[in-house]
Structure 1
Amino acid sequence: EPGRAVAGTVLVVHGWRSRTEYMRALIEGYRAAGYRVVSLDLPGHGQSQGRRLNMVNAVDAVRVAGEWFGPFVAAVGHSFGGAVAANAIAGSVKNIPPLAAGRLVLIAAPSSLPAIFADFSRMLNVGPRSQVAMADRVEHLSGRPLHDFTGDRQLAQAPVPTLVIHAQDDREVSADHARRYAGAGGHVRLYWADGLGHRRILADKGVIERAVGFVMHREPSLLH
């Protein structure tokens, strides 16, 4: 909004099978705190063109947002969008430069691509040869082996101050993913938003206050 005092620009990234409008409470929270907010519909989602979404074209979309509107005081992502933000900041995809962001907020975000692939394979009874083929495809697309895509390793290599918000009752992304992120080092703070599951967590007033306060460098002592 022209003429409005801006504390900086925050990037907000939605999750898988979602869109920007579902991030409205977070967006309004940051705007009310004086930030400009940039939020994009990832490829194949919302108003964006395309029929496929993967980590590589998602990180590339975030790269373009950074070139147009960055640098960002923070990148904030929900679910897959959190993993995208973490991978973008860590520069995990070959030939895509790291995203410039001062802080990172991950809400109900998966931290381990190998774990997701393993769960998927168990659910669909995918055989060993097909699992190897999928891992080879990841390396072909991203330029890095599948085992490189773990959040604790990525955040350890890119020590941006990070807040991880997760519900232990999340049935879509296990709380173990949040614990992995928290193991990256002392620059990562973990807040349990229990009872909010995977999606209601986005509309919770307390969660919004934590996410906004962390970017404003107001970190409650309850964080652990």
Structure 2
Amino acid sequence: MAPITLKVIRGIFGAAELVAPRLGGRVGFELFCRTPNPKALSEGERKAVERAADLMAEARHHRLKAGANCVAVHEFRPEGGRPAAGTVLVVHGWRSRTEYMRALIEGCRAAGFRVISLDLPGHGASSGRRLNLVSAVAAVRAAGEWFGPFEAVIGHSFGGAIAANAVAGAVDGIAPLETQRLVMIAAPNALSEWFESFRRQVNLGRRSATAIDDRIRRLSGHGLAHFTGAQQLTRLRTPTLVVHAPDDAEVSAEDARKLDAAGDHVRLVWADGLGHRRILSDPGVVQQVVGFVARVQEPAPLH
């Protein structure tokens, strides 16, 4: 967001807090859910899409209806045409898409799994320019109805939070997603903390923020505080691998520690020096994740 644009937005929300906090809440929610233009790629993003072109050409492409959204789902068969050992669902994060998950998809295919990867609403080849937890969980659940149950669900960043909440059945009216294992890579713990960061950035006042929480409660059946990964994992007891880099500048390493504290069924692996995005393409991380999914390798520290 350009500095001048942010300055104007902060001024508007400051005024709305004083005279029309519910209106400020409605506008704030729309801004919070607004996704980046999937066609406006940086040079690095464009190169990542190009590197994944051959992989995407091999996929079977589907389009599913999920609420008001048309969601692109990409199906990758195991390498060599062999029978699938199971199906793995891959969920990308905010400002991401299936192509950026290439290394994990290829690793799972090489291990004999069929891989399903969806572009979340407002991302990649899917429709729309809005995404929130409810629409994301609905999209993941739609993929589960067509392609599940899953041997594992792998999520990166916001995709990790989506995966945990989908498996936990955290949104009222959407059935839990079936899976045997869960992988959360560079994933935030509490969505309320993510929202708090946004609130401070745009100068959204407390009364306007309360209006947003009320709207989220109407959509999902719960306020933001309900969508906390550690709480969901404690209740789930699903074997879970958490992979996080101590130097992650986008999601604090403290989030990983909180997820790890959910119980003995959660294993935390530190990926030193890999940040928030390079962690996706690191061969050691891919090996750890695939080994966990295939149940052939216990998680161990990465060096």
Which one-letter code corresponds to 1:186 in the other structure?
D
Q: CA deviation at 1:80?
A: 0.7
Matches within 5 A, 1:79-98: 79-98=157-176
Structure number with greater Rg is: 2
Q: Distance in 1 between matches of 2:202 and 2:189?
A: 21
TM-score by length of 1: 0.96
1:28-83 deviation digits (Å, cap 9, x = unpaired): 00000000000000111111112211110110011110000000000001111111
- Between Structure 1 and Structure 2, which shows a larger proportion of helix residues? 2
1:42–1:61 contact (8 Å) kept in structure 2: yes
Deviation at 1:223, TM superposition (A): 5.3
Give 3-state SS (helix, strand or coil) of 2:154's partner. strand
- 2:181 match: secondary structure: strand
Q: TM-score, normalised by structure 2?
A: 0.72
- Do structure 1's residue 170 and structure 2's residue 248 form an aligned pair? yes
% identity of equivalent residues: 64
1:10 Cα deviation from its structure 2 partner: 0.2
Structure 2 match to 1:65: 143
Q: Any unmatched runs of 5+ in structure 1? A: none
Give the whole-Å Cα distance in 2 for the aligned partners of 1:90 and 1:221.
23
Deviation string, structure 1 residues 146-166 (Cα, Å, up to 9, x no partner): 211111100111111000000
Contact 1:94 1:142 in 2 (8 A): yes
For the residue of structure 2 that corresponds to 1:198, the secondary structure is: coil
Deviates more, 1:68-77 or 1:125-134: 125-134
Residue 77 of structure 1: aligned partner: 155
1:139-178 equivalent positions in 2, closer than 5 A: 139-178=217-256
Selected match of 2:119 from 18, 34, 41: 41
Give the unaligned 5+ runs of structure 2. 1-76
2:214 maps to what in 1?
136
Hey, what does 2:36 align to over in structure 1? none
Residue 269 (structure 2) aligned to one of 188, 191, 195: 191
How far the C-alpha of 1:221 sits from its partner, in A, is 6.0
Maintained 8 Å contact 1:59/1:84: yes
Cα distance per residue 1:94-123 (max 9 Å; x no partner): 000000000000000111011112222222
Question: Which portions of structure 1, spanning 4 or more consecutive aligned residues, are displaced by more than 4 angstroms?
Answer: none
